[in-house]
Amino acid sequence: MPFVQIYLGKHLSQQNKKDISLAVHQSLVDIFSIPQADYFQVIHAMEPGDILYPESYFDVPHTGNLLYIRITARAGRTPDMKQALYEKIASRIAAATPVSADDVIIIFVENDLEDWSFGRGIAQMVKK
């Protein structure tokens, strides 16, 4: 049930966007064992200058290909699982696109089952 928001530059191609999206999704399937059909993402293609970042942070250099990935998911994953997810996403994106692993910034936000509705105004994952 993760919800993924990807913020990237408009200069990246439709194929790059698809490859980035699939890299994130397949990593969630592999590391968090989410169902393949649990695919909820929004890609925000940003104008030059709308993605702000330092040239380097924690000794990691950043370029104009920098992208932000915000993953909202239920609480309960271990720090090791999160680290494995971050590594898998960055390496898959770097292998499939012109974006280097240095330019993949991931923000993970946790919530609870009652914080999700998949339509009809119902929190489907809350048992009554």
Please identify every residue annotated as catalytic: 2
Rounded to an integer, what distance in angstroms lies between the CA atom of residue 102 and that of residue 104?
A: 6
> What is the SS3 assignment for 72?
strand
- With vertex at residue 94, the alpha carbon angle to CA 92 and CA 96, rounded to the nearest 5 degrees, is 70
Q: How are beta strands 60-61 and 40-46 bridged, if at all?
A: unpaired
- Tokens representing 111 are 């919530």
Query: Minimal CA–CA distance to 66: which of 86, 85, 84, 46?
Result: 46
The strand pairing partners of 42, in sequence order, are 5
- Evaluate whether 58 touches 23 at the Cβ level (below 8 Å): no
